[in-house]
Each structure stands twice: as C-alpha cells, then as structure tokens.
Amino acid sequence: MRAKLVARATKATTPIISLTKAQLDDWKAGAEGAHVAWVERSRFSGRSGELCLLPTSEGGLHAVLLGLGEAFEPWPFASLQKGLPKGRYAISTELRPEEASEAALGFGLGAYVFDRYKKAKPPEVELVWPSGADRSWVERLVDAICLARDLVNTPAQDLGPIELAAAVQREGKAAGATVSVIEGAQLLRKNYPSVHAVGRAAAQAPRLVDLRWGKPAHPKLTIVGKGVCFDSGGLDIKPAGGMLMMKKDMGGAAIALGLAKAVMDAKLPVRLRLLIPAVENAISGNAFHPMDILSTRKGTTVEVGNTDAEGRLILSDALFEGATEKPELMIDFATLTGAARVALGTEVPVMFSNRDDVAEELLSASSRAKEPIWRLPLHQPYRRFLDSPNADISNTGSSRFGGAITAALFLEHFVEEVPWVHFDVMAYNLDNQPGRPSGGEAMALRAVYGYLSQRFGA
C-alpha cells in the first residue's frame, strides 16, 4: 500500500506541528491562550506519536500537534496514517533536510499493509512532501523495505525457491542487471554441493540466484542473503512453536534483495553482485541426514551435527563463490540463529565483521540512520567447538553457548580474506509499533544503505 505523499497544491491543508517534549514549552510560550489551554486540558505531553487536534472556534480543525518524544526520529510520523481524520496535511514545523526526509520516510512506512490475502482500506491521510525532503531517497528506501516485507510475509506456499528466484529476476530486469540461476542437479555439476544437499528434499528444486549489475571497473560489492523459504528443521525437525514462523527464514535474502534494489536505484558506482541460495529445508526420503558429511564448494568437508543448522551450509557455498572475485566488501544477511535473538533480542540485528574499520563505520551509520545494530566478536578460541572427528568442520559444534558466534565463525571459514560483514537478523516484528507492523521487517537495511552510499557514493 503506497502512502499518499503529494505535491503542495491549491487544496487547503491542515498544519502539523511536530514537537519534542522539550520543544513543547517553547511552543506554548508563543501560542494562543485558548490553544494552550486545550493542549493542557487534553494532557498532551509530546510523547512519541501522541496527537492533539486543535479545533477552530467553529469546530473545524485548526492544526495538529504531533509528539516526537525525546528526540527526532521517523516513527511518530507513521502514527499520522491511522491517527488523523481523512484529509490533506502539511508539516509546518521548520525541519532540517535530513529530518524532512526522515519524516516522509516514517509516514511512507506507516502506510505499509500486507494486503495480498486480506483487503485493506486505502490510506486516507495525505501529506504534502515536507520541504527539503530528498524524495528519491525516501521513495527508494520505502520501496526497498516494503519489497522485503512483502517477500517475508508471503507464506511458503506462495514463496518457494521458484518465486524467490523470480523476485530477484524481476528486480534485476527492472534495473538492467543480468541474472542467472543454477538449479537442481546443475548445482552438483557446477559445484554447489551444500546448496543442493540442503534443498534437494523439497518439491521445488534448490537454486543459486546470481545477479550482476554495474560497470566492471567500479569497486566490487557483493551481497549474500540466506534464502530458506521454509525451515522445517529437516530431519532434526523443529517443534511446532519453533517452526511456526519459519516462512521468514528467507528474510536475509529479502533484505539483501531490498538493499540491492536500493543500490541499483541510486546508481551507486559499484559493481554489484547479489548471491541468493534459495532452498526449502524439507523432509523427504532423500533429505540429508544428521552426521552426513557434505562436500562444499570450497572443498572443505562438513559433518552435519543437526540438519536445522542449514543456513550456514547454503551460505558456505555462496560466500565462497562471492569471495573468489575478491570484492572490496561482502555483506551477508541471514536469519541464522536463535542464539543471536537470545543475545540481543529480536529487534537488534547482530553484526560480525573481520574488519574493525568497516564495523565501526557501520555502527556510526546505524546511529545516523537511527536504526540499531550491535557488534559481537568473531572470538577465534570458540573455533575449536566446530571441530569434528570425521570431517574438516562441523555445522553445529560441541558447545551449547555462544551459538551466534560459532555460526559466524563457521561462515568466516568460507570467506577467506575478503572484507566481510555478517548480519544475523530476526527479519520479523513480533508486535505492532508505529511504522513497523508485526510481520516481515527489513532489519539493518537503512543503516547499511546509509553506510554504502557514504562509502561508495559519487
């Protein structure tokens, strides 16, 4: 569902006055007595997303106060979508250009509804583009985030490896990229044995989707996303509660595709490669087994401690392939471990990197974007927990602790020396917050996009 951001037209607009708690007192000092009395009577305190409708003496709508809480952020502007009567509004507060963009972004994301299977009312609140807003930045990020949300929200019945690959092809075609797909038994011939092993038991064949875009002379940026369209756990089957949300196990792929779409839309001067291993971790007579020893693209043998640690297996082949080109930077997104959620909860993506300078810049991009990410260490001594008696490495390891770290160390083995960042994300909102409805979420996308445009932008 698209937000109604409109150009200023002749049609009358109602002013929106956005105020942090601290700015509320200043506003009161300059406002009409009757308005101040009304605001106090309605106990408006400037809480984030709080609205106060100021009437005219005839009972019309004079203006709207919008609380911003302690500091400026996009989310209160999402509350305008549902909180205001039908009509056209314009923010009358003086905003810095970044704030104007963030306000429009919040408003835009506030209109998102997953309406593929259930009709939703079209948005009735129109907002005039705040002056100074970077419209293409706003539309680019809203489109990228909504694409990722739609993909995650679509149930596995309608979003298997076939449809996930088709989504990459669709976005690639629209942006003038080339997309190739290696599918089914071809994966064995072309040496992607882990992608094949994990995905071969499903009705839809596993595949590796490979998108390339941009001038070959530009710095190489490779983005990889875990595309497990449904994770039953395989033969080490998940209990019902753990399996319930596993349509979202392609969330990493959805975020990677959304980010790639934004990079291409912005025409960042990079040579982009997007690698998506797309599989379903299903159960059937030909499913891979616990204690199977898989081969990988790199040649490393992997003993399967648990078929539910499938994400790192498919990523091992994709990351190794990505590394062979020696990109300037490789970034992966994956709903990789429950342990990352135990460590930081569902709303703070865990970041790992083998380069401190890149990690630090990503953390500052995260605070600029007002989108949380947090770094955990690639603590090398834990590498011993991945030792296997029968193969070069185990996909689960022997420790019950530090699961997000051991998973990241497993991936690192296939990345070799390439500068690399790994995001272990939830990709799902468990409840409703303004602009972030329950369901699929493109976690870390805005922060990483901000970092990339700063680093590679012309």
Q: Please identify the residue of the shown chain whose CB is closest to the bound Zn ion.
A: 231
- Alpha-carbon distance of 416 to 396, in angstroms, equals 20
Q: What does the alpha-carbon distance between residue 42 and residue 53 come to, in Å, rounded to a whole number?
A: 9
Smallest separation, CB 308 to ligand BES (Å)? 4
* Contact predicate 63/16, CB 8 Å: yes
Q: Per CB under 5 A, does 76 bind Zn ion?
A: no
Smallest separation, CB 403 to Mn ion (Å): 12
Q: How many of the chain's residues bind Mn ion (CB under 5 A)?
A: 3
Give CA–CA dist 269/96, Å, rounded. Answer: 27
Q: Strand 125-128 vs strand 4-6: parallel, antiparallel, or unpaired? A: parallel
Please report how close the Cβ of residue 236 comes to Mn ion at its closest, in angstroms. 8
Catalytic residues: 238, 312
Q: Does 280 bind Zn ion (CB under 5 A)?
A: no
Q: Does 249 bind Zn ion (CB under 5 A)?
A: yes
Q: Is residue 236 near Mn ion by the rule CB under 5 A? A: no
DSSP state of 219: P
Are 73 and 434 in contact by the 8 Å Cβ rule? The answer is: no
What residue spans of 160-310 are helical by DSSP H?
Answer: 161-175, 186-189, 193-199, 240-243, 251-265
Kindly tell me which of 48 and 395 has the beta carbon lying closer to ligand BES.
395
Nearest CA among 233, 411, 238 for reference residue 333: 411
- The interface with ligand BES within residues 394-413 (CB under 6 A) comprises 396, 403
Q: Could you list the beta-strand ranges (E) of 47-135.
A: 51-55, 61-67, 87-91, 125-128
Cβ atoms of 415 and 297 closer than 8 Å: no
Comparing CB distances to Mn ion, the nearer of 178 and 284 is 284
Looking at 79, 101, 154, 335, which residue binds ligand BES (CB under 6 A)? Answer: 335
Query: Binder to Zn ion among 50, 183, 231, 236 (CB under 5 A)?
Result: 231
Binding residues for Zn ion restricted to 307-326, rule: CB under 5 A:
311
- Tell me the three-class secondary structure of 123-158, residue by residue: CCEEEECCCCCCHHHHHHHHHHHHHHHHHHHCCCCC
Residue window 341-380: x/- pattern of binding to ligand BES, with contact defined by CB under 6 A: x---------------------------------------
Q: Select from 106, 123, 258, 311 the one that contacts ligand BES (CB under 6 A).
A: 311
Dihedral sign, Cα of residue 75, residue 264, residue 421, residue 232: positive
Neighbour count for residue 277 (Cβ, 10 Å): 36
For every residue of 380-398, which 3-state class applies, written as one string? HHHHHHHCCCCCCEECCCC
Q: Which is nearer to ligand BES, 309 or 421 (CB)?
A: 309
The answer to whether 221 and 271 are in contact (CB under 8 A) is yes
Residue among 102, 231, 303, 441 that touches Mn ion (CB under 5 A) = 231
Tell me the window of 51-59, 303-311, 363-371, 433-441 that interacts with ligand BES (CB under 6 A): 303-311
Min dist. Cβ of residue 420 to Zn ion (A): 20
289: phi then psi, degrees, rounded to nearest 5? -110, 160
280 contacts Mn ion (rule: CB under 5 A): no
The residue sitting closest to ligand BES, measured at its beta carbon, is 338
Of these, 51, 202, 309, 411, which contacts ligand BES (CB under 6 A)? 309
Give CA–CA dist 149/442, Å, rounded: 6
Query: In the stretch 128-167, what mask flags binding to ligand BES with x, by CB under 6 A?
Result: ----------------------------------------
- The listed partner (Mn ion, Zn ion, ligand BES, none) that binds 341, CB under 5 to 8 Å by sort, is ligand BES
Which residues have C-beta within 8 Å of that of residue 249, sequence separation ≥ 6?
A: 226, 228, 229, 230, 231, 281, 311, 335
Which C-beta is closer to Zn ion: that of 101 or that of 394? Answer: 394
Q: Is 448 helix (H, G, I), strand (E, B) or coil?
A: helix
Per partner kind, with CB cut-offs from 5 to 8 A, the member of Zn ion, Mn ion, ligand BES, none near residue 93 is none
Instruction: Considering the complex, state which of residue 308 and residue 412 has its C-beta at the smaller distance from Mn ion.
Output: 308
Q: Which two tokens stand for residue 347?
A: 């709303």
Alpha carbon dihedral 181, 213, 313, 387, in 10-degree steps, equals: 140
3-class DSSP assignment, residue 192: coil
Query: Which region, judged by CB under 6 A, interacts with ligand BES, from 34-42, 92-100, 305-313, 370-378?
Result: 305-313
Site residues for Mn ion, 284-323, by CB under 5 A, read 308, 310
Asked if residue 316 binds ligand BES (CB under 6 A), the reply is no
Q: What are the residues binding Mn ion (CB under 5 A)? A: 231, 308, 310
Q: What are the residues binding ligand BES (CB under 6 A)? A: 231, 249, 306, 308-311, 335-339, 341, 396, 403, 426
